[in-house]
Amino acid sequence: MRSIWAGAISFGLVVIPVKLYAATEQRDISFRQVHREDGGRVQFRRFCTLDGEEVPYSDIAKGYELPTGDMVVLSDEDLADLPLVTAHRIEVLHFAPNAQVEPILANKSYYLEPEAAGTRAYVLFRDALEKSGKVGVAKVALRQREALAALRVREGVITLETLLWPDEVRKPEFPFLDEDIEVRSQELKMAASLIDTMTEDFEPDEYRDAYREALEAVVRAKVEGNEVVRPPGVAAPEPKGQPADLTEILRASVSALKAERGKPDGGRGKSDGGRGKSDGSKPTSRTKSPSRSGSATRTKSSSRAKPAAAEADGTEKAAPRAKSATRRKASA
C-alpha cells in the first residue's frame, strides 16, 4: 500500500507521528464510453455556455450560484486562505462509548501506521484504546476539507473512520411513522423466534460478488473468442521482452542454458580443461592432403596450436617434410 497522508495523532500533550493508508478499495469493473460502431473512445470537453468556446482546465474556477442566478467566483487564493487548524494532524477531541457513534455516520476508513520514532507511543495508545472499549472522536483535514473522525482498533491497527457531519444525515420522514400500527405479542414472539433460528456468526469471506464474477466471465469469453475491436489509428501493443512473472523468467533462463549446453561444440569455445586441444587444431590435423603444399599449410596451423596438439595424425611427419621443402627452395 502507498500512504496518502502523513501527520500525527494529537491528544493532550502526546503526539504520535503516523502515515495514513486507504483501508478499502472498489473492485468494480471499470468501463469506458465508446462509439458503438467502431469502438472509438468518447471524449468530454468543457465548453462555456456563453461564448461556446472550449475552456482549458487552467481557466476553470469554482463558482457558487446564488438563488438569483448570480455567481460568486472563488479563486485558488481565496481557498488557500481558509483556516485548516487540523492540517497534518489528527486532533483527538474526546472519547465516547462505541455504541454512540452510529454506523450511518461512517464515510470512509483508513489505516494508521506509526512512524519509526513513534512506534512505542502508538502501541501504548492502541492498547489503551482497545481496552477501554471506547472510540476516539477527532478532527482531521484531508484533501483540503476538515472532517469529523472516529478512532478505533482493528486487528492490531488503529483505524481512522471519517464521519459525516450531523446536518449531512437526512431525517427519516415517512408517513407510516405517524400511523398507529398494532403488533400482536404472538406475532412478535414468532418474529423473534425466526431471528434466533437464523442467527449465526458473520464471516465476510463466505460472501462474494456474483454479478462482478459473471461480468468478468463475459469479458473473458469475448477476449478468448477474439471479439476485440481495435479502433483505427491505434497501434498494436508491442510484444513483451520477457515474462513478467519471476517464475517464468527463471524457467526461460534454465531452458536457454540447456539449449546452449546441447549444441555440438558443447559450449566449449575455449581450451578443454587445460588439455591443450583447441577447436581449430582438430579439423586441421585430421585433414590429409596428398600435396606437399598441403603439408606445409598443415604444419603452420599445428605450430600455432599448443604443443599437445601434435598428437593428431600426420603432424609429426609433416614437420620434417616442411623443413626439407624449405631447404630445397633455398639451394635452388
The residue written with cell numbers 585433414 in the block is 287
Q: Please spell the DSSP secondary structure of 130-153, one letter per residue.
A: HHHTEEEEEEEEETTEEEEEEEEE
d(CA 311, CA 3): 72
d(CA 225, CA 50): 49
pLDDT at 80: 79
* Among 25, 27, 23, 26, CA closest to 149: 23
pLDDT confidence bin for 176, thresholds 50/70/90: very high
pLDDT at 252: 73
pLDDT at 172: 94
Cβ partners under 8 Å of residue 159, min gap 6: 23, 109, 110, 111, 112, 151, 152, 153
pLDDT in tens, 102-122: 999 999 999 999 999 999 999
pLDDT at 98: 93
What three-state secondary structure class fits 51? coil
Is residue 201 predicted with pLDDT exceeding 60? Answer: yes
What are the structural domains, with CATH classification, of the chain? 5-26+82-168 (2.40.290.10), 293-331 (no CATH)
pLDDT in tens, 10-48: 988 899 999 999 999 888 888 888 888 888 889 888 999
pLDDT at 257: 73
